[in-house]
Structure 1
Amino acid sequence: MTIEANVQVGSSPYGPDDQLGALNRMTPASQAAIMSRADAGRVYDLSIDYFIGMPSFQAAGDPSYQIFMSHTPQGTAVDNLNGVGEDINRNVCYSGDVIFMYTHTGTHIDSLNHFGVDGKIYNGFTAEEHLGSRHWNRGGAEQIPPIVARGVLLDIAALKEVECLPDSYSITADDCRRALKRQELTLEAGDVAMVHTGRMAFWPNGDKVLGAPPGLSLDACRWLTDQGIIAVAADQECVEVGPSEHEDNWLPGHCYFLTESGVPMIELVNLEELARDGVHEFCLVAAPIKLRGATGSPLRPLAMALRD
């Protein structure tokens, strides 16, 4: 085990007020270019569905996903809270519900304020100045624009000729390079790198989906950002390998991507169909819910295969 991760707080080249980080590399021109190549007849839904009992981070003290009804047809007729009377309420059947969940449940994106170093998040925003009693006032989920970009699948499981990488397998930079060479692709500035470990083949079995994740080593994280990516994704819960390989940092990949590099992280993405069909390059369209100040948000990524 190495001793130090040496992760720093990054300063944005786009100015002291910037909250977009690497997403500044996404432009109207880059979005139009990839959309012009997209085949809308071949769309892959990369998200998972939400349900009571789904795998979540309860072991870390976070709440499980919960849904309950606040209005039912029978209850509305009995309660008459809208004051229109029983006859109308039995004719107009009203249902409504409430959801309670940790913002990092299921397929989601991490905001730049999710992790920091020494009290600071990306671009030097501090807890003393920018963290209120309810949420951060900088780097929240509402700052993340709709992502329309070239997505590139790095199929590490296929490279290793396994259905799923072993627990705690540390993906190296060389693994990433070899996977791309095998797929006859290169990463380009403005891309979203999506790492296939095979974990989602076991969803929703929490015993096999969560814990001791195979994922990116810190070396691989640094190599990916050197290619100019605007976001990174994986089909497991933290993108990076777990447990940490560094004694001084329990999630160095998070600190590196989010705090040092300003690269949002997308987690628990279902990449099984893309891997099965050999779709390694695609148009990615994804947008988080605009939860002001939140450290993360549910996300529904869609991948459109590219025209031949």
Structure 2
Amino acid sequence: MKIKKSSLKQSFAKLSNTKVLVIGDLILDEYLIGSVERISPEAPVPVVWVRDEKQTLGGSGNVVQNLTSIGVNGIVFGRIGEDKAGENLERILLSNAVAKEDLVLLKSKTIPTILKTRIIASHQQVCRVDREEIIPLTKEEETEIIIQLKGKIKDASAVILSDYDKGYLTPSLIQAIIAVCNAEKKIVTVDPQVSHFFLYKNIHIMTPNHHEAGKALGKKLVTDAEIENACREIAKELTPDAMMITRGEKGMSIYERTTDLFYHIPTVAKEVFDVTGAGDTVITTYTAFVATGMSIKEAALVSNVSAGIVVGKLGAATVTQTEIEDALKNLGYLDEES
């Protein structure tokens, strides 16, 4: 399986004129980075001497970061709290080349911004502290979001539903969003939650990992045959154009429903340093490149290579066009003569 160099270059050229609408659960990721030199006298736990700290986008925000990194403009729908974390999250979104008019944020007085704090020592995560209140949107809020979506959807080439089950993507909102996208003939891709798994009907593609797909079906998915049967079973219920199941060290499997074809793509990760956000990279790069006109198979190959790059980095990392092209070339996936 190879991608023509001319096809890749054409897609790269189109990315800057591609706009992807991201709708889902926004999270602020905080990292406290330091070293451990002693155990606390108060309890048998390490004392982390913090030497650096940073905040970055998590959840659907990491999808936005991935879009920016490959040169794609984003339209962002999500919920934050009226708090310091919300201010920081909004500031970071704006710094990621999201235009203010393309930032459609529901700001809550009562629900705090989701904040996940990871404490890192010697390149290892010591612990994570979560601050969140999972409260679903009201019907009035859902109605307002759909009104805003109808006003923005025409500017988008594709729509990503980034579902972390934190209350923003309610069952009724999911169905309403897909209906609007289908009416406007927009590509819809979904990074799903098991609790909503069979609500994502009539989309372009869903990208669960094998644990999520297996849990939704009530069975373990290990072999290629089990993955293929699962894809067919899910596709029969949801009628997507395609299914993608990511499989960790086994790479990913893609099923084209209309042709009944499967592609099993092996992992290309040389060293797995941190899998945080790898799923976000997969759906982002796949969606962006399909939106430029790449085939399902080609876009899947790009997304697999991109995931292999980010797992070798710390935290919810991103990839660039240069990294993608270099990786495709080094792995022998790029047809240089085209």
Q: TM-score, normalised by structure 2?
A: 0.27
Higher strand share: 2
Say which structure, 1 or 2, has more relative contact order (CA 8 Å, 6+ apart).
1
Q: Which has the higher helix share?
A: 2
Question: With structure 1 as the length reference, what TM-score do the two structures score?
Answer: 0.29
Q: Which has the larger radius of gyration?
A: 1
